[in-house]
Amino acid sequence: MGNDDRLKALFAYDEPPARDPAFSTAVMEELVRRRFLTDVAVLSGVSALGGTALWALWPSLQPVVVAVAQGLAPAIVAGALALGAAVVFSGRRPAALLGFET
Amino acid sequence: MSPASLDEALVAAAQAGSSEAFSRLVERHQQALRAFLRRACGNWAQADDLAQETFLAAWSRIERLKAGASVRAWLCGIGYNKHLSAVRSGARDRAREASYEADHEVARGADTADRMALEAAMSDLPAEQRACVALCLAADFSHAEASEALSLPLGTVKSHVTRGRARLLQALGGPDGQ
């Protein structure tokens, strides 16, 4: 056995198995967990931003909302439902829909 | 389909957002990456943690991987940088102490004085030299591929491999094959 073969044979003890479903699964689980946390962070940020904007603008918005609420309420509800359904059925993640990732 | 073109297809799919394709890449390259990190840092548990971190980093920057580039070399490059960061932070030493005995139980079961001598000699090599040896002597990387993975000049890689090989063979008590 040549020197290089001898080294190779000794190094072979460090070799992990060619297929290791436990390792691959652990990687993908961690990846999904991090994506979930990203989604939660994005949605929390957007919600907080929207809530703050609404709170700041509410005094000036309130009269307008009250004035148009009677006539537009059904259309707004239908629009919100359609938007929600589009998000759900598109199958895309919120972070991707908002352009934070591909 | 050849392994290289399969990799290319999987990378393209992963770049388009397919986590299934990325999962296949993990399956295909986990062995090479983990083996390299085990040899580079000498601690199996830490190496597997680094390998997992490497794959997570790879997913987040998969769009930067150019078409036709070696996935294996790219992953080993990310893993090597993570290993160097771990060494700098000192985490490696703490983890090494914690799992030293467990790792050596495995080694004792499989061998031999040679195995222990190789491990000791590897741990004495400077980090760059050790990484070059791990890629070129243990994992059949070409010098050019190792140079790309480790971001080192080709001449430096060749010199590290030659010197590292001589030191390992000397530690094993044989001729250095020069």
A101 pLDDT exceeds 50? yes
Question: Pick from A3, A15, A24: which is nearest to B169 by CB?
Answer: A3
* ipTM of the complex in this document: 0.77
Residues 158-177 of B with CB under 8 A from A: 165, 168-169, 172, 174-177
| Three-state SS at B165 | helix
How confident is the model over B135-140, as a mean pLDDT?
Answer: 92
Q: Which of B38, B17, B33 is nearest to B70 (CA)?
A: B33
CATH number for the domain including B46?
1.10.1740.10
Q: How high is the pLDDT of residue A102?
A: 56
User: Is any Cβ of chain A less than 8 angstroms from the Cβ of B48?
Assistant: yes
DSSP B139: S
Are residues B118 and B90 located together in one domain of the fold? no
Are residues B2 and B60 located together in one domain of the fold? yes
Are residues B128 and B100 located together in one domain of the fold? no
**Last residue of one domain, picked from the residues B110, B127, B153:** B110
Task: Give the separation between CA B84 and CA B40, rounded to whole angstroms.
Answer: 10
Q: Work out how many CB contacts closer than 8 A connect A with B.
A: 87
Structural domain of B172:
111-178
Q: Is B173 exposed, middle or buried (0-12, 13-18, 19+ CB in 10 A)?
A: exposed
* Interchain pair A13, B39: CB under 8 A: no
* Interchain pair A6, B115: CB under 8 A: no
Q: Tens digits of per-residue pLDDT, B76-97? A: 999 999 999 998 887 555 555 5
Residues 6 or more apart whose Cβ sits within 8 Å of residue B55: A27, A31, B26, B30, B33, B75
User: Is any Cβ of chain A less than 8 angstroms from the Cβ of B97?
Assistant: no
Are residues B86 and B150 located together in one domain of the fold? no
Q: How high is the pLDDT of residue A55?
A: 93
Are residues B38 and B93 located together in one domain of the fold? yes
Least Cα separation, residue A95 to chain B (angstroms): 12
Task: Tell me how many domains chain B contains.
Answer: 2
**Last residue of one domain, picked from the residues B59, B94, B110:** B110
Q: How high is the pLDDT of residue B133?
A: 94
Are residues B9 and B59 located together in one domain of the fold? yes
Task: Give the separation between CA B82 and CA B79, rounded to whole angstroms.
Answer: 5
**Last residue of one domain, picked from the residues B76, B110, B144:** B110
Reported as a pLDDT band with limits 50, 70 and 90, residue B111 is low
What are the b/e assignments for B126-160, b being 16+ CB within 10 Å?
Answer: eebbbbbbbbbbbbebebebbbbbbebeeebbbeb
Q: Where are the domains of chain A?
A: 3-97
Give the range among A64-73, B94-103, B160-169 with minimum mean pLDDT.
Answer: B94-103
Reported as a pLDDT band with limits 50, 70 and 90, residue B178 is very low
Task: Give the separation between CA B41 and CA B96, rounded to whole angstroms.
Answer: 9
